[in-house]
Structure 1
Amino acid sequence: MDDLRKLQDDDKTIHEIKKNIKNKKHYFIEDGILFRKQQLPLSSVPYVPTGRIRADILKIYHDTPANGAHFGRDKTTRKIKERYYWPTMIADIRNHINSCLPCAQNNYRRQKLPGKLKPIPPPEGIWKLLSMDFHGPITPTSKKGNRYIISLTDVLSKFVITKA
């Protein structure tokens, strides 16, 4: 805890919170260490200063076999939140897991792969092959109050007709 106290003393954000602790209902100081009160689970956890210590915590809770090694985002977040706090924790955990090479190599995709495109033969003439798109909702609306646009395109000439 002495190391954490020293790291907190060097952090500007933590220094500002400690200076205005009376206005911060979610924080308190114990033995010179800034803690954050949490609702779930009902406990208090130390505020982790910026720097290497955050990366070390991420490695310990995501990369090491003793802590379950390479759990997903939700489980890793829950485990870290039980013991620590810093404002960018969720984004930092997501970025750490997204950049984890073993996770990328071993996790299967949960999303369906995109379908394969099939080639379309070129049209035999103008207005023989058309494409249509809907756009919207758009703002501002047209004078008639329309919020969507339909466009019709001739594939050969690239001539476009739009209607709101």
Structure 2
Amino acid sequence: MDDLRKREEEEQKIQEIKKNIRNKKHYFIEDGILFRKQQLSLPPVPYVPAGRMRADILKIYHDTLANGAQFGRDKTLRKIQERYYWPTMIAHIRNHINSCLPCAQNKYRRQKLPGKLKPIPPPEGIWKLLSMDFHGSITPTSKQGNRYIISLTDVLSKFVIKKSCLRLFSNNSSEIPYK
């Protein structure tokens, strides 16, 4: 606690809070150490000055095996918040965990891995390979009441034919190249 008291005396922001302690309802001083009151029934916690102490706390609560090393962000945050306070605590803990190599290596991926792409061989000539896209429902509708657009693209030349239509059915989309 002597080290904490000494470091608090060196930090300007803590000195400002101590000078205006009567206007700060969440803070109080006990034995020369600045404490912050917590919500609910949690006990007050000491205000940790910037610098080495914050980094040491993060190492102790996240990196040390004795404290159940490599807990995720939420557990680490909760464990530290029960015992300490500093204004940028959440961002500081998030940055520490995001830069933690063992966490990154062992983190469970919640996303499905992307599928393997299969390249399309180049067409032999113009109008030999076509792609068709359907767009809609588009609002507002056209004067004729059309709500969809079918576009037909020649893969080689990138020439596009567009047609608006009232409804999308397989029979009217297959007729587009012939119109």
Q: TM (normalized to structure 1)?
A: 0.74
CA contact (8 A) 2:42 2:82 kept: no
Specify the alignment match of 1:74 in structure 2. Answer: 74
Other-structure match for 2:22: 22
Q: What amino acid maps onto 1:22 in structure 2?
A: R
Whether the 8 Å CA contact 1:132–1:153 is kept in 2: the answer is no
CA distances 1:6-59 after superposition (whole Å, capped 9, x unpaired): 111111111121122222111111111111111145210011110011000000
Q: Show CA shifts across 1:81-102 (max 9, x none).
A: 0000111111111111121122
The reply to whether residue 110 of structure 1 matches residue 94 of structure 2 is no
8 Å contact 1:37–1:43 — kept in the other structure? yes
| 1:62 Cα offset (Å) | 0.6
The alpha carbon displacement at 1:105 in A equals: 2.3
Preserved CA contact (<8 Å) 1:129 1:156: no
Deviation readout 1:109-131 (Å, 9 max, x if unpaired): 22222232232344553693356
Query: Structure 1 pair 67/130, CA: closer, same or farther in 2 (3 Å)?
Result: same
User: What is the percentage of aligned positions where both structures have the same residue?
Assistant: 77
Look up the match of 2:174: none
| Matching residue of 2:120 | 120
CA shift in 2, pair 1:23/1:122, >3 Å:
farther
Aligned pairs (5 A) from 1:10-159? 10-122=10-122, 124-125=125-126, 128-129=130-131, 154=153, 156-157=156-157
1:63–1:69 CA contact under 8 A, matched in 2: yes
**Structure 2 segments unaligned to the other structure (5+ residues):** 137-148, 162-179
CA 1:20–1:159 in 2, change beyond 3 Å: closer, same or farther? farther
Larger Rg: 2
> What residue number does 2:139 align with?
none
Number of equivalences: 146
Q: CA RMSD in A?
A: 2.8
TM (normalized to structure 2)?
0.69
